[in-house]
């Protein structure tokens, strides 16, 4: 490219090209494709130095919000169709719209109430899970048998929710207003990140699994900063904790109705199944505990899972009805024996 | 270097990966569309629409290249179609616009990509030299105007800009060749 061409091109990009400039450029561009490529490279630089619009005037966050709301609207439409199909398979799913409906009615009622802080509580029945959006746009997937409580609008001093059970959080980024998840003994503080909290009512152990970003965690005064792939388990009874590194997918798979066991000891397997299906397991033969199990379950019922377990692991089981007077207590009791 | 997101990542990662992809490229793509269409709102609509299409068709599409390349190509085609459809400009202009996109999507450099390089490279230039260069390149001031404004001789301005170019040449390598030719600034 000689200097005359370069100047003509510069004038073209500045919108000041003369007919002679255009004729000269056209002739040069038609010569060969290499010239056209060079011209395209000049365009890249020209538009980087002098962008067509003010880059600061393009609001990516707002556009993403608009786009996602279009996606949600479309997905809600298609979900309605899919929902009818699921109904044929699992009666338990019936509870999902009930949970959503009660949340909706509750929120309707609370919006009329003009008290300082109106709170919303959402509880999911066992073996269902639900996804909800918090006032700041953060998303929560609530596992079965879990309860989350949050204000209808977050105040100036932060975003705080309380949780019993298990939930997966995708927190909207906002550095000046930390997002806080409070369980009975553990507090997780995040700004913009994704993580899973497992804090069931009857468990001694609260676990937090990091998927993305950074969170600070406070366990009765013991503090810790976590990064992606970290899983912290805090024993509330003896106030000790342990950190392991693992694939976060395993711990968040429940959002898609899956349960993943990967080299997990049977005592953990029974513990997890107990959480998810609200049953109580008693292992009557301690040698069974140490057996390591590997499986992925998707939407299976508990009897199906137990049957599979007793085929591939050296166990047999017995189901009895629980006679506990506590209505929240597990309804079934399962005794596990070695073969 | 920006992260690369593929279709396989999007299929696996769902909404979260979609958001990352969007945040990564949205502004660049709107500015890229702006090369063809002068209307920011129309550009934003086109880019949003393309993101939605990718999301809906993620299981059906077969794209082996990074999604960035696919997006650049899609925006380009949509804009060129839009111009032809709306009969916004003359055939000559359309011809020029096609030339402007003569390079492959992989080669096309977007706003933030060159912006970062240029900014980083300029950071290594001594402030007085940088000032003169920016007045010339970004504010489009002539050497004499810059000299008058700074109260120095025209020769000093030329030598400062020359020094800037020498540093940029090392820092920007392949881009610089075009930049130098393009700017028409005499090299000494």
Most confident of A153-157, A237-241, B97-101, B170-174: A237-241
Distance from CA of A63 to the nearest CA of B (A): 8
pLDDT band for A87, please (50, 70, 90 cuts): very low
B89 interfacial to chain A (CB closer than 8 Å): no
Cβ contact, residue pair B102, A40, below 8 Å:
yes
Distance from CA of B183 to the nearest CA of A (A): 7
Q: Which residues pair with A19 in a beta bridge?
A: none
- For residues A134 and A109, membership in a common domain is answered with yes
CB pairs under 8 A between A and B: 127
Residue A47 clears pLDDT 60, i.e. is over it? yes
Q: Angle at the Cα of B139 (from A21 to B167), degrees rounded to 5?
A: 95
Give Cα separations from B164 to A254, A270, A292, B152 (angstroms): 57, 69, 66, 17
Euclidean distance between CA atoms B160 and B132, whole angstroms:
7
pLDDT band for A109, please (50, 70, 90 cuts): very low
Q: Euclidean distance between the first and final Cα of chain B, in Å?
A: 33
pLDDT at residue A247 in the model: 83
Contact A93, A128 (CB under 8 A): yes
Q: What is the DSSP letter of A58?
A: -
| Phi, psi angles (nearest 5°) of residue A89 | -90, -45
pLDDT band for A93, please (50, 70, 90 cuts): very low
- For residues A118 and A224, membership in a common domain is answered with yes
Q: What is the DSSP letter of A50?
A: S
Location of each CATH 1.10.1740 domain in chain B: 7-100
- What chain A residue is nearest to B54 in terms of C-alpha separation? A71
Q: Angle at the Cα of A116 (from A110 to A118), degrees rounded to 5?
A: 30
pLDDT in tens, B59-106: 888 777 788 888 998 998 898 888 877 765 666 666 777 777 766 777
Which one of A1, A29, A68 has the shortest CB-CB distance to B181?
A1
Residue B47 clears pLDDT 90, i.e. is over it? yes
With 0-12 / 13-18 / 19 or more C-beta atoms within 10 angstroms meaning exposed / middle / buried, residue A327 is exposed
Residue B180 clears pLDDT 50, i.e. is over it? no
Report residue B71 as tokens: 């997006």
- For residue A302, the surrounding DSSP H or E stretch is helix A302-312
User: Which residue from A210, A238, A237, A239 is spatially nearest to A225, judged by alpha carbons?
Assistant: A210
A60 interfacial to chain B (CB closer than 8 Å): yes
Distance from CA of A6 to the nearest CA of B (A): 5
User: Which residue from A107, A105, A144 is spatially nearest to A127, judged by alpha carbons?
Assistant: A144
Location of each CATH 1.10.10.10 domain in chain B: 113-183
Contact A122, A147 (CB under 8 A): yes
| Phi, psi angles (nearest 5°) of residue A296 | -125, 125
User: Which residue from A333, A289, A294, A280 is spatially nearest to A315, judged by alpha carbons?
Assistant: A289
Secondary-structure breakdown of chain B: helix, strand, coil percentages, each rounded to the nearest 5: 70, 0, 30
- For residues A213 and A278, membership in a common domain is answered with no
- For residues A28 and A172, membership in a common domain is answered with no
Residue A70's domain comprises 59-89
Residue B27 clears pLDDT 90, i.e. is over it? yes
Chain A residues touching B133 at Cβ < 8 A: none
Distance from CA of B148 to the nearest CA of A (A): 24
pLDDT band for A21, please (50, 70, 90 cuts): confident
Q: Provide CATH code, domain B7-100.
A: 1.10.1740
- For residues A79 and A117, membership in a common domain is answered with no
Euclidean distance between CA atoms A173 and A196, whole angstroms:
17
Touching A: B residues 106-135, CB under 8 Å: 107-111, 113-115, 118
B108: left (phi over 0), alpha (psi -120 to 50) or beta: beta
Secondary-structure breakdown of chain A: helix, strand, coil percentages, each rounded to the nearest 5: 40, 30, 30
What is the count of structural domains for chain A?
4
- For residues A303 and A201, membership in a common domain is answered with no
- For residues A117 and A199, membership in a common domain is answered with yes
Tell which of A252, A286, A319 closes a domain.
A252
- For residues A281 and A328, membership in a common domain is answered with yes
Which residue would you say has higher pLDDT here, B10 or A6? Answer: B10
For domain B113-183, give its CATH number from 1.10.10.10, 1.20.120.420, 3.40.50.620, 1.10.357.10: 1.10.10.10
| % of chain A with per-residue pLDDT over 70 | 80
Residue B116 clears pLDDT 80, i.e. is over it? no
Best residue of A4, A37, A58 to probe chain B, by most B CBs closer than 10 Å: A58
- For residues A288 and A192, membership in a common domain is answered with no
- For residues A83 and A118, membership in a common domain is answered with no
- For residues A114 and A230, membership in a common domain is answered with yes
- For residues A247 and A157, membership in a common domain is answered with yes
Euclidean distance between CA atoms A270 and A283, whole angstroms:
9
Residue B181 clears pLDDT 60, i.e. is over it? no
* Mean pLDDT of the region B42-58: 92
pLDDT at residue B185 in the model: 41
């Amino acid at each position: 490219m000689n200097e005359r061409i370069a100047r003509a091109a510069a004038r073209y990009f500045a919108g000041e090209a003369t007919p002679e400039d255009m004729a000269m450029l056209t002739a040069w561009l038609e010569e060969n494709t290499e010239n056209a490529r060079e011209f395209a490279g000049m365009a890249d630089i020209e538009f980087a130095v002098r962008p067509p619009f003010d880059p600061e005037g393009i609001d990516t966050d707002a556009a993403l919000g608009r786009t996602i709301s279009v996606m949600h609207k479309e997905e809600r439409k298609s979900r309605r169709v899919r929902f009818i199909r699921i109904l044929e398979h699992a009666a338990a799913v019936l509870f999902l719209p009930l949970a959503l409906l009660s949340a909706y009615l509750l929120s309707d009622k609370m919006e009329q109430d003009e008290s300082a802080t109106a709170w919303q509580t959402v509880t999911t029945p066992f073996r269902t899970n639900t996804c909800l959006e918090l006032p700041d746009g953060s998303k929560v997937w609530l596992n079965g048998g879990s309860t989350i409580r949050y204000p209808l609008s977050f105040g100036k001093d932060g975003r705080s929710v309380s949780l019993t059970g298990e939930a997966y959080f995708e927190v909207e980024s906002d550095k000046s207003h930390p997002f806080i998840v409070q369980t009975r003994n553990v507090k997780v503080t995040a700004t913009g990140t994704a993580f899973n909290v497992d804090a069931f009512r009857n468990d001694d152990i609260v676990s937090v699994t990091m998927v993305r970003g950074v969170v600070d965690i406070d366990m009765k005064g013991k503090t810790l900063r976590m990064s992606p792939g970290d899983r912290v388990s805090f024993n509330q009874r003896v106030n000790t904790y342990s950190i392991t590194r693992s694939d976060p997918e395993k711990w968040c798979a429940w959002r898609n109705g899956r349960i993943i066991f990967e080299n997990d000891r049977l005592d953990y397997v029974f513990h997890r199944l107990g959480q998810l299906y609200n049953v109580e397991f008693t292992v009557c033969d301690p040698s069974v505990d140490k057996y390591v199990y590997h499986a992925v379950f998707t939407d299976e019922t508990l009897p199906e899972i137990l049957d599979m377990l007793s085929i591939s692991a050296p166990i047999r089981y017995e189901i009895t009805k629980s006679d506990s007077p506590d209505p929240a207590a597990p309804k079934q009791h399962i005794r596990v024996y070695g073969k | 270097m920006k992260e690369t997101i593929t279709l396989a990542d999007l299929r696996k990662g769902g909404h979260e990966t979609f958001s990352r992809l969007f945040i990564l490229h949205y502004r660049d793509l709107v500015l890229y569309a702006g090369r063809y269409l002068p209307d920011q709102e129309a550009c934003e609509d086109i880019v949003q629409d393309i993101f939605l299409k990718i999301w809906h068709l993620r299981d059906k599409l077969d794209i082996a290249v990074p999604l960035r390349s696919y997006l650049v190509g899609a925006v380009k085609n949509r804009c060129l179609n839009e111009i032809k459809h709306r009969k916004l400009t003359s055939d000559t202009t359309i011809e020029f616009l096609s030339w402007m996109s003569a390079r492959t999507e992989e080669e096309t450099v977007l706003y933030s990509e060159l912006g970062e390089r240029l900014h980083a490279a300029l950071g290594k230039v001594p402030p007085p030299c940088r000032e003169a260069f920016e007045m010339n390149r970004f504010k489009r001031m002539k050497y004499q105007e810059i000299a008058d404004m700074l109260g120095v001789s025209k020769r000093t301005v030329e030598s400062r800009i020359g020094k800037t170019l020498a540093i940029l040449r090392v820092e920007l390598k392949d881009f610089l060749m075009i930049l130098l030719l393009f700017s028409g600034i005499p090299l000494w």
